[in-house]
Structure 1
């Protein structure tokens, strides 16, 4: 599912994906490595080397990481005050977060995968819509 829609996460090893999926909570370093690699910012060898931190990431922090890594534009408030609070609100408004959600909740491996998949699908559909508009304008 994630490998087909995302396209950028194919370089992960099966063992690493399994370890993430089985994790009841993901560390900040694991989330950062996974999200940045999905955004095309890190090679897979770097991802495997930074996955050592044990500090659990909260959903608001993950949302901010996603907004920055994928260079997503936010509303006026996010532009003025970029951070976990308004990042969470932006991704929730875009319906990229599973329900129920709370910015203070810890993120499991499965939730991380689902959110990243939704972001990649969103970006892909947004890109297709832009291409269709460009073709129609000609």
Structure 2
């Protein structure tokens, strides 16, 4: 005699687990460290000003071209006058040093009208199966985000 058993596969929960979401947020916060817009951080590679912090996983994955990216930081090397902004996803470590904390965001009256206080924008020039996104600093405020 053969016995056949069927096992029900549980369906995925409709709502994300709040404990898992909170734990992931904490891990991400630890990985980002004190890098916020306006902060200057230094490590063995140089000194970098944070131009933007990207917390949207889809945007971070596109910028870093990594399927597992949860965040990205757009930085500019302050030691090289010709440096271009670049997206990085390196984790904050004990060898990183905060040179300048991120300032408070400018008031609504002090924001650049051209970029809305963001200091620039991402420009997508993707095509032909190649993803190309670059940070373009605002020419009106020279990337500061503040009205001149």
TM-score by length of 1: 0.24
Greater relative CO, 1 or 2 (CA 8 Å, sep 6+): 1
Larger Rg: 2
TM-score by length of 2: 0.23
User: Hey, which of these two has a bigger chunk of helix by percent?
Assistant: 1
User: Hey, which of these two has a bigger chunk of strand by percent?
Assistant: 2
